[in-house]
Structure 1
Amino acid sequence: MNRKLQILSRHVLRQHLGLKSMRSISTSMPILISHRHHVGKESLVHRTIGNQLELSAAEFGDTEAIVSCHEGKRYTFRSLIQEADALAAGFRKLGLQRGDAVGLWAPNYMHWYLGMMGAARAGLISVGINPAFQGPEVAYCLNKVNVKAIIAPETFKTQNYYEILRSICPELADANGGRIRSEKFPHLQSVIIDSNDGLKGALRFDDLLDLANKSEREEVAKIQQDILPESRCNIQFTSGTTGNPKAACLSHNNFVNNGIHVGNRNELEGERICVQVPLFHAFGVVITIMAGLTKGATLVLPAAGFSPKDSLQAIVKEKCSVIHGTPTMYVDLVNTQRKLQVPLGKIKKAITGGAIVSPQLIKDVRQVLNVETVHSVYGLTETTAVIFQSLPGDSDDIVLNSVGHLQDHIEAKVVDAEGRCVPFGQPGELCVRGYTTMLGYHGDDDKTRETIGKDRWLRTGDQFILEENGYGRIVGRLKEMIIRGGENIFPKEIEDFLNAHPQIIEAHVIGVPDERLGEEVCAFVRLHEGVDPSSFTAETLKAYSKGKLAHFKIPRYVFTVEAFPKTTSGKIQKFKLVEMFKESLDKKHKTARAEN
């Protein structure tokens, strides 16, 4: 069966929902609870990334696999596997063994992509490290997952990666040929820097590619049978708002299968993708790299870091037919296109994920960027990447009001605070189960058990509504829900409303403390160019909202900002908005005391 609907008797339903009375439940109509298992038409595969690379090289051959516009580099699928095997043999020559971790600490450079592929072919674990991280954060990552080698550029913008590594690991300056002995980082053996210069203690990336001889490179193909699809291939650090990030361990099986099914839904065969998302993030490494690899799509890197102007130029020059980006990136891309009016031509698809997208933004992407269809993807780091996704041919109404349909071979349910399934169409916490579930958090069994139960159901932490037809929509993060005077308010609803305001480019809503009501609604907005920020006040917004939004949802506080604090992957850091509100309140109180 493609779907399973659980129809409960009134007696069982009463026990299930914890109800004392059944008077409010119709005796003539069965209740369908929010549980669904979507069995896909295409079977899962038992394959490693290295196996997939071989298949793609054989099938797509001289098709371009990746183009780095800012570096002027191009690889076909055939030349890619040759370079990946040279790198894999180089890793082995350095003494790295199957299961060792290789850190990839860089923006979107070719050496990041090659590093991931080479690590996979050598049976190593690639570890994506946020390129914006500073010394203490990088030190945490290196020790948390026992990184044995790290690859980085020498510099990017104001960030000097080599000097940061030297500052946290002084032994680097005295190392020979990139081999290190460090008391602080006992596992770290090698530092590889993509640089034309010879830097003390570091091995040049190009030299690593040339390190192994022909027979050592050929040996890489032979070891592929020894690498298990169930083994770890990647570690993703979660972008937590407090405390140190957790390290989610993902397998070859996770990566390859999710790549295949994402590629299927997005119909990526032969497409050219403008890649705005960072490669280290799940959006980059699975939804982009793995989906592209399995479907023979070409990845186009416009710039090392997100640049809407470079993206627009790359779309035209490289004839991109698909765009990948987070909602914030599309906001900036739309705004830049309105100014530059670049002759884009028709674009087939814009794929968005990583955060909640507003209906107004989807309309803007279509109209301003000349995009035929917009596809949503939804998932978490802990679910490899995608668990809900748009289907080909979805109507405008579905795309505008959902995160898509349950992905193939995934089981989902929506539960209340006690873990009981709620009826279809009712909000609760989304839980999922299937091949996408991570292996666990590295070195953190307690957190793993909190997230994944003994029955393998994974708690997403998202307040979600699952419909009977398999489509879903996010109401908001459970932790972001605002409780104002007993009313439950979900920021997304207000954000969607504000994003349709003619003067607003982007809006984000938070809950802030209130003595009487517990919490109040606070909106941060970014305005269109030419709009006077002083003219946009809470009273202005109140007048606009009258008759359109319930009074208790109308923001009491309104702040205008020129830019939002966000992670490198494009997610808005709402905890920083809370800090900004508190700072503003403190400043106001100090001014009032001074005047008195």
Structure 2
Amino acid sequence: MNETLSFAAGPTDLPLLDETIGANLDRTVAAHPGRDALVDVPSGRRWTYAEFGRAVDDVARGLIARGVRRGDRVGIWAVNCAEWVLVQYATARIGAIMVNINPAYRMHELEYVLNQSGISFLVASTEYRTSDYRAMVEQVRPSCPQLRETVYIGDPTWQALLDDGASVDPGEPAARQAALGCDDPINIQYTSGTTGFPKGATLSHRNILNNGYWVGELVAYTEQDRVCLPVPFYHCFGMVMGNLAATSHGACIVIPAPSFDPAATLRAVAAERCTSLYGVPTMFIAELDLPDFASHDLGSLRTGIMAGSPCPVEVMKRVVSEMHMAEVSICYGMTETSPVSTQTRRDDDLEHRTATVGRVLPHLQVQVVDPATGEVVPRGTTGELCTRGYSVMLGYWEDPERTAEAIDADGWMHTGDLAVMNPDGYVSIVGRSKDMIIRGGENVYPREVEEFLYRHPAITDVQVVGVPDPRYGEAVCACVVLRDPDAGLTAEEVAEFCRGRLAHYKVPAYVHVVEGFPLTVSGKVRKVELRRTAAEALGL
């Protein structure tokens, strides 16, 4: 294609991995049996690759003993821990489809995901912070008829699962694995829905194994690397770019804490001599801002991955110089593309690492098109970024209509992000054609929050927009029209209404009361104008 157009194809000189996740793990176990595979810092537990392989099989046999079959959906609703990783690889080995459930979900969201994906077996934490997972599962269970069984991590039910597995032939997981294909669905990840409910991006072995592998290749992982993962496993950032990138290269996964804790992260890097550290920009900012930052020995670091939102130049300078991450990489993608489409390279300069999201990965294609016509635009021109190749999801779970809206007839995944491709093939994200809010790396789709807030008795109409926030990049603001304009409504009252029913990151930080919304000629709400006036009114 004409090199003046916004199209780029990644190199294909090295082949894709044509194997399942379990087969790839078997190769790593055979090559590096004595090397560390997994370190769970909070519990002090660690596994070599030989031990990890056996532990994965133990969980697989437990699932088989409980009647889990190929294609069954196994939900995991838990914070970062070793068991999360074991379930990830055990389900892949026997062909069950693991469904990631965000630990921040409350009953409204949990019930929807359990039913929409048809989860029959659930693995969950018992509790975390203010969430009593056990109580929430019991409350939604009557309305989730397909849910047969729940096992709780750190509870006697987890040990009972392993004990039951002892009755299953040790060769059975491998036998089931041998019957699987690379294109089998293996994972469902829910992305917030612009139409009110999350959509289940369905991903195959080929999708996520290869994406993790190539991300690891571009930061030059080997069996010498130790990867610190403070990012959540329920998201592709943790389980694909983290876990699969590590195991496909014989590197070690290091879990610093159940959820992000800046001090625990730096302690883990120092104690485990980690060579790589992951995070969204706000995580790196929090680590750099620790009062005792300078006391942590981070000299073992050489690389890492930053993704989720743009990185400020000054933060990147400090990450490179003060955290010793000279080879840090920026990644861009979305759950529907497994997730990474573009990535900066180890030797890219500061400008490319802060002003762009890199260039296309091997075996993928990206292009920037005119949203109205679908024509590829010239380089340097803004349009919608599209991705094509092995990484594009199989589709949204049991939702062919929305799958067809996202993936066109030529196989291009339309990201909804507005981008510019530079003459050198590097891509910059300049905005969002959808109205998605990115709060500290978490995607918030306004429509989902709006649908929920319409239930509030005081609200007659609502539009949710993102407003500037120094810590999270964007904060959620609800612009509301009240039934009684004299009554007033505070952010605290709205937060109380949402508490326990919406994930914390979706709860509006601000409430802006208006008499009506600015409209286009065709009657659509002009969200760009609403965002601006809300920010001005709130003094942001």
User: Match for 1:257: what amino acid?
Assistant: N
Structure 1 contact 346–372 (Cα < 8 Å) conserved: no
Q: Which moved more, 1:109-118 or 1:364-373?
A: 364-373
Q: Does 1:382 align with 2:336?
A: yes
- 1:450 pairs with one of 400, 405, 411: 405
Q: C-alpha separation between the residues in 2 aligned to 1:55 and 1:468? A: 40
1:153-192 superposed matches below 5 A: 153-169=125-141, 184-192=143-151
Q: C-alpha separation between the residues in 1 aligned to 2:275 and 2:261? A: 18
- 1:93 pairs with one of 51, 61, 65: 65
Give the secondary structure class of the aligned counterpart of 2:328: strand
Report the counterpart of residue 193 of structure 1 in structure 2.
152
Give the secondary structure class of the aligned counterpart of 2:171: helix
Q: C-alpha separation between the residues in 2 aligned to 1:340 and 1:572? A: 32
User: Match for 2:374: what amino acid?
Assistant: G
Q: 1:338 to 1:478 in 2, by over 3 A?
A: farther
Q: Which moved more, 1:98-107 or 1:416-425?
A: 416-425
Question: How far 1:109 sits from its partner (Å)?
Answer: 1.2
Q: 1:456 to 1:309 in 2, by over 3 A?
A: same
Q: 1:84 to 1:474 in 2, by over 3 A?
A: same
Report the counterpart of residue 469 of structure 1 in structure 2.
424
Q: C-alpha separation between the residues in 1 aligned to 2:466 and 2:130? A: 37
User: Match for 2:325: what amino acid?
Assistant: V
Structure 1 contact 106–152 (Cα < 8 Å) conserved: yes
User: Match for 1:403: what amino acid?
Assistant: V
Report the counterpart of residue 452 of structure 2 in structure 1.
none
Can you list the C-alpha shifts for 1:46-86, whole angstroms capped at 9, x where unaligned?
A: 11111111111011111111111111111111111111111
Q: 1:523 to 1:280 in 2, by over 3 A?
A: closer
Q: Which moved more, 1:93-102 or 1:389-398?
A: 389-398
User: Match for 1:254: what amino acid?
Assistant: N
Report the counterpart of residue 311 of structure 1 in structure 2.
265
Q: Does 1:295 align with 2:246?
A: no
Give the secondary structure class of the aligned counterpart of 1:91: helix
TM-score, normalised via structure 2 length:
0.80
Q: C-alpha separation between the residues in 1 aligned to 2:507 and 2:310? A: 16
Can you list the C-alpha shifts for 1:8-60, whole angstroms capped at 9, x where unaligned?
A: xxxxxxxxxxxxxxxxxxxxxxxx21112223321112111111111110111
Q: 1:106 to 1:215 in 2, by over 3 A?
A: closer
Question: How far 1:581 sits from its partner (Å)?
Answer: 4.5
1:4-403 superposed matches below 5 A: 5-6=1-2, 32-169=4-141, 184-196=143-155, 198=156, 204-213=157-166, 216-240=169-193, 243-269=196-222, 270-336=224-290, 341-403=295-357
TM-score, normalised via structure 1 length:
0.73
1:559-570 superposed matches below 5 A: none
Structure 2 contact 303–326 (Cα < 8 Å) conserved: yes
Question: How far 1:522 sits from its partner (Å)?
Answer: 5.7
Q: 1:396 to 1:188 in 2, by over 3 A?
A: same
Can you list the C-alpha shifts for 1:502-521, whole angstroms capped at 9, x where unaligned?
A: xxxxxxxx9xxxxxxxxx99
Q: C-alpha separation between the residues in 1 aligned to 2:62 and 2:314? A: 49
User: Match for 1:258: what amino acid?
Assistant: N
1:431-510 superposed matches below 5 A: 431-480=386-435
User: Match for 1:132: what amino acid?
Assistant: A
Give the secondary structure class of the aligned counterpart of 1:70: helix
Can you list the C-alpha shifts for 1:182-234, whole angstroms capped at 9, x where unaligned?
A: 5x2222111101234x5xxxxx1122112123652222112222011110010
Q: C-alpha separation between the residues in 2 aligned to 1:140 and 1:231? A: 24
Q: C-alpha separation between the residues in 1 aligned to 2:507 and 2:418? A: 18
- Larger relative contact order (CA 8 Å, sep ≥ 6): 2
User: Match for 1:312: what amino acid?
Assistant: L
Structure 1 contact 83–209 (Cα < 8 Å) conserved: no
Q: C-alpha separation between the residues in 1 aligned to 2:291 and 2:325? A: 13
User: Match for 1:45: what amino acid?
Assistant: L
**Structure 1 unaligned residues grouped into runs of 5+:** 8-31, 170-181, 199-203, 482-490, 496-509, 511-519, 528-570, 587-596
Q: C-alpha separation between the residues in 2 aligned to 1:401 and 1:338? A: 30
Give the secondary structure class of the aligned counterpart of 2:302: strand
User: Match for 1:6: what amino acid?
Assistant: N
Counting matched residue pairs gives 465
Q: Which moved more, 1:267-276 or 1:142-151?
A: 267-276
User: Match for 2:405: what amino acid?
Assistant: E
Structure 2 contact 273–301 (Cα < 8 Å) conserved: no
Structure 1 contact 271–298 (Cα < 8 Å) conserved: yes
Give the secondary structure class of the aligned counterpart of 2:9: strand
Q: C-alpha separation between the residues in 2 aligned to 1:428 and 1:338? A: 44
Q: Which has the larger radius of gyration?
A: 1
Structure 1 contact 321–348 (Cα < 8 Å) conserved: yes
Question: How far 1:259 sits from its partner (Å)?
Answer: 1.6
Q: Which moved more, 1:38-47 or 1:259-268?
A: 38-47
Report the counterpart of residue 535 of structure 1 in structure 2.
none
Question: How far 1:524 sits from its partner (Å)?
Answer: 3.0
Q: C-alpha separation between the residues in 1 aligned to 2:73 and 2:334? A: 22
Structure 2 contact 37–251 (Cα < 8 Å) conserved: yes
Structure 2 contact 60–91 (Cα < 8 Å) conserved: yes
Q: In percent, how many aligned pairs have the same letter?
A: 33
- 1:523 pairs with one of 458, 468, 484: 468
Q: 1:572 to 1:406 in 2, by over 3 A?
A: farther
Give the secondary structure class of the aligned counterpart of 2:60: helix
